[in-house]
Amino acid sequence: MSTQDVRYSFIVDWYDAQASLIRQYQFLFYPRDNSIEMYDVKNKKKFFTRQRMDSISVKQLFLHNRINVCSRQLDIVDYGDEYTRISLTECQERTLALIKPDAITQSGSIIEVLEKNTSLRICDCRMVNMTYANACEFYAEHQGKPFFNGLVNHMTSGPVLALELIGDNAVSQWRNLLGATNPIEAKATMPDSIRAMFGSSLPKNACHGSDSIESACRETDFFFGRGKHSLNTTATCSETSSCVIVKPHCVLSGQFGSVVARIQAAGWDVKAVKLHNFERANAEEFYEVYKEVVQEYDMMVCELTSGPCIALEVAPMENNSSSIDDSNSVIARFKSEVAGPRDPVIAKDLDPHTLRAQFGQDKVKNCVHCTDLPDDSTLELSYCFQILCE
């Protein structure tokens, strides 16, 4: 089949809230001109006439992902034909990337290296505290080896950030970027590898990566499968923290790591991380305070539901805090010093180093949402790290 004729087919579900029904469609994507069309599976009729859709890309088309078409959230539940199944699964894999406690304060820079040097995409992520039992279970294959106790002790010494990555040959792509297990060897053989740049010694080698497709399946299930509730969240939902949501346009364009790196470089600690695919009802509830206040409210809701977004809890690092820091000053400082004005055009003029100046496109696609009012901090954090995780 020539490039001109390539067409990918998927089965997608859409929840029709008015009818309280799940409606199923065949979703067709044409990479040549980035166009889509849809057919109603039950009625066997065309539902959406073919047209270009720049907000959709082939990178978003994988099982269990959610995409947004004309404000409708569609869940990809199956492949629509064998050609699509074979074409997109032959090399596409999932793997686990785990940022260890020794490198957690450099997690943004590590993810930035990942996003700039591979074709892999983040399809899930969460920051957790591993218990002794968690670590023993995760590293069960190494039990009895001389380094086992040291490894378990290290993995329970602080928070870890787990990322589920998807893409062509994901296991080997991530392992190659990591470099040798021993950072000293990595510095000598692959100085540009992650362990060479961010690791120091064993077991403090910055990151873990699944060593096979079988291991990747087990390890991603450990952090993101049914047993995930046995892992303790790192979220504190403190009044002296701010809720930050990295918006879908940044996540999908591979800028999440760059955003986090700049937050950390500015002297802010990322205390919790969780990826969400917002339902429209959830997005409307989260943004309710802006409904009668901000003209772009409806567009803000659409943007938040247009793809994966990543919620962060941030607070000043010890060397960036002051004796007068309270909820008012923390919220105000992050907004002015890190996020910048809501309009990226104004942000570029007032402070070109802020997140919205560097990564924002307009008032809606402005890189991040951050807590505006001190009284909302605990509410927003609880919503992202407790209510949506139930």
pLDDT in tens, 180-203: 999 999 999 999 999 999 999 999
133 and 120 assigned to the same domain: yes
Cβ contacts of 122 within 8 Å, gap of 6 or more? 111, 163, 164, 165, 251, 256, 275, 308, 310
- 194: CATH: 3.30.70.141
- 13: CATH: 2.30.29.170
pLDDT at 320: 77
For residue 253, is pLDDT > 50?
yes
Catalytic residue among 64, 142, 208, 353: 208
Q: Which long-range contacts (CB under 8 A, 24 or more apart) does 193-198 make?
A: 194/110, 194/113, 194/114, 197/113, 198/103, 198/106, 198/109, 198/110
- The total of structural domains in the chain comes to 3
pLDDT in tens, 308-367: 999 999 999 988 776 556 768 899 999 999 999 999 999 999 999 999 999 999 999 999
- Of 216, 233, 250, which closes a domain? 233
Q: Could you tell me if 206 and 198 are in contact, meaning their C-beta atoms sit under 8 angstroms apart?
A: yes
For residue 109, is pLDDT > 60?
yes
- Measured CA to CA in angstroms, residue 225 lies from 68, 70, 137, 217 at distances of 24, 30, 15, 10
378 and 248 assigned to the same domain: yes
- Of 195, 211, 233, which closes a domain? 233
For residue 115, is pLDDT > 90?
yes
pLDDT at 227: 59
7 and 140 assigned to the same domain: no
Residue 20: band (very low, low, confident or very high) from pLDDT cuts 50, 70, 90: confident
55 and 100 assigned to the same domain: no
pLDDT in tens, 133-150: 999 999 999 999 999 999
202 and 305 assigned to the same domain: no
pLDDT at 376: 93
178 and 272 assigned to the same domain: no
120 and 213 assigned to the same domain: yes
For residue 224, is pLDDT > 90?
yes
Average pLDDT over residues 253-276: 97
pLDDT at 323: 53
In sign, the C-alpha dihedral spanning 316, 321, 326, 331 is negative
102 and 15 assigned to the same domain: no
Residue 1: band (very low, low, confident or very high) from pLDDT cuts 50, 70, 90: very low
For residue 285, is pLDDT > 60?
yes
* Averaged pLDDT of the chain: 93
228 and 289 assigned to the same domain: no
By mean pLDDT, which of 15-24, 164-173, 205-214 is the weakest? 15-24
pLDDT at 90: 74
Residue 2: band (very low, low, confident or very high) from pLDDT cuts 50, 70, 90: very low
Phi, psi of 160 (to 5 degrees): -125, 150
| Inter-helix orientation angle 107-117/256-265, to 10° | 150
- Of 233, 264, 289, which closes a domain? 233
pLDDT at 71: 82
Distance CA 168, CA 210 (A): 15
212 and 276 assigned to the same domain: no
Beta bridge partners of 46: 39
| Domain membership of residue 126 as a residue range | 92-233
Residue 228: band (very low, low, confident or very high) from pLDDT cuts 50, 70, 90: low
Q: What is the CA radius of gyration of the chain?
A: 22
Question: Quick check: is 249 catalytic?
Answer: no
pLDDT at 226: 64
126 and 83 assigned to the same domain: no
Question: Shortest CA distance to 354 belongs to which of 331, 332, 334, 329?
Answer: 334
pLDDT at 324: 57
134 and 257 assigned to the same domain: no
pLDDT at 322: 66
pLDDT in tens, 45-71: 999 999 999 889 888 899 888 998 988
